[in-house]
Structure 1
Amino acid sequence: MSEAKLVEFPDLGTVRIAFRNNTSRISARWKDGIVSVSAPAGMDFNEILRTIERFTPRLMSLRKDVTYREGVMEFEGITFEIRRQSVCPGKVLGSIMMPRAFIEVGVSLDMDDIDVKRAISRIMCRIALKVADKVLLPGARKLAAELNRRPAEWGIMRGHSTLGRCSGSGVIHLSYVLVFMPQELRDYIVCHELAHLEEMSHSKRFHAICDKLCSGRAAELERKLKAYRWPIIKM
């Protein structure tokens, strides 16, 4: 892969273009607040620019900016409060006093700056990872008991892309980022993994089991999950 290029577009802002030998087509997605493009190595650069322009309407419709302001974000089991601080004006600080977490942004920092957003998001994630077992697992165990399902064990895992995992031995791990989800979507992820206790593949049987565990709402909850606007910058 050759060195990436940064290009400014009127609507999209900064676009990062990476050239790859192992791809035959252009793909684009939002990552950390900017558009990240993968293009075949050797492709005409003007053609890449024209393709990105064609992609622009769809990319704009998919844009999910994270915006932080002073105030509170409430989730089941924990509330995050963002407030200003003047002790360390150029830093973002974090602390926990359950069931409340505090994100303290230095008064000299612009909360619309992408680097400040990333700092806020990182601290929120650090706090969520620390408290995830206490925030997520009691509800997961209770739901499993109500549905008469008995995983061998529960655990918390890192990572943003995989929200849950069920091993062949019946151990279920939930991603710590479920801390930032509403309860009904947390429960949907739990039901999804509980369904894997009976069917490991994503077969028709699996989806039928999952839908039954969700009281017939699996399709609705999957749509809500895909449309969910995360309060963190997912890597």
Structure 2
Amino acid sequence: MVWGGGGIRIFATPYVLFRYSRCTIFVGKRRFVPMETFDDEEFGTVQVRPDSRARRLIFRVKEGVMQITCPTGYSLGRVQTIVDENRERLRRLMVRGEVVQQRRQLTVGDRIPCYGGHIELLSGRLPDCILFRYEGTTLQVLCPPGTDLNEPRVRQQLSRGVCRLMYRRAQEVLPRRLAEVARRVGASPREVTIGRGRRKLGHCTRSKSIQLSYCLMFLPEPLIDYVICHELAHLQQMNHGPQFHALCNRYCGGEELALRKQLRAFTFLF
């Protein structure tokens, strides 16, 4: 960390420079961690990432590309064999991925709701970087002229910058939101923290601590409150049995099932 003039903190790494001022972060070009790949006649380029924590193969489709997480020690040949054995299921996964990708297309001029404001995608003037700045409650993202926002590397850079800022904002606003909902339903969590999970939006421990993911910032307010009510119900019922759902449904004003369906159908853009 390097201190700049006027109390501005500059965080520098060999790959990217983030300049934190009152409202602006510059994100430069970033190198990407290499991963193993192989070409499949049907699925195109398949990315394979070994992970020492993985106990099985995990398949996902991101930006139209099949990504596989595998336990350390798996060879590419072994992964390819498993792909061949599961082609029918993987075809369905690719189709679902294409549908989601179509929903996730971004264009300059988009104004995307987020909790407490909007994210606005604009055309900027700087040729080599994406600029993020706040104008009131709107996070403006200024992209280089002519940029294809859906090109995988651009999309990854853009998402990384937006998510960094949403995480910082979430630490300020989500604990307050949870406190409001907790007072309304008469629940008392011991503490609230903000996490970075993308698949798990909330978590409650037996010590009555609740963690909310910053990704809630991208949800509409009724779904934010649904996730909060779900975790508050776990303060009394550490399970998903009938008593838990009855309590959660009461906290949700009788709308638990409808809200759960809406959450499952929601498409995150970042």
Shorter-chain TM-score tier: 0.7 to 0.9
2:19 corresponds to which residue? none
Instruction: Name stretches of at least 5 consecutive residues in structure 1 with no aligned partner.
Output: none
Deviations 1:53-96 (A, max 9, x none): 5521343124422322122112230211110111x212112122
Measured after TM superposition, the shift of residue 161 of structure 1 is: 2.1
Q: Distance in 2 between matches of 1:69 and 1:148?
A: 43
Instruction: Note closer, same or farther for the CA distance 1:20–1:159 as it changes in structure 2 (3 Å cut).
Output: closer
Amino-acid identity (%) = 27
Q: Is the 8 A contact 2:182 2:232 kept in 1?
A: yes
2:83 corresponds to which residue? 48
Q: Which has the higher contact order (CA 8 A, sep 6+)?
A: 1
Deviations 1:179-209 (A, max 9, x none): 0011111011000110011012333322222
Measured after TM superposition, the shift of residue 45 of structure 1 is: 4.3
TM-score, with length taken from structure 1: 0.82
Deviations 1:133-184 (A, max 9, x none): 3332333222211111122232322221221122223222211110001111
Matched, 1:180 2:218: yes
Q: Distance in 2 between matches of 1:38 and 1:52?
A: 17
Measured after TM superposition, the shift of residue 8 of structure 1 is: 4.5
Instruction: Note closer, same or farther for the CA distance 1:14–1:99 as it changes in structure 2 (3 Å cut).
Output: same
TM-score, with length taken from structure 2: 0.72
Instruction: Note closer, same or farther for the CA distance 1:224–1:14 as it changes in structure 2 (3 Å cut).
Output: farther
Q: Give the secondary structure class of the aligned counterpart of 2:143.
A: strand
Deviations 1:114-142 (A, max 9, x none): 10011111111011011113332333222
Q: 1:100 aligns with which of 138, 149, 155?
A: 138
CA RMSD for the aligned pairs? 2.9
Q: Distance in 2 between matches of 1:20 and 1:80?
A: 33
Instruction: Name stretches of at least 5 consecutive residues in structure 2 with no aligned partner.
Output: 1-34
**Any residues of structure 2 matched to 1:156-175 within 5 Å, and which?**
156-175=194-213
Q: Is the 8 A contact 1:90 1:109 kept in 2?
A: no
Count matched residues: 227
Q: Is the 8 A contact 1:195 1:209 kept in 2?
A: yes
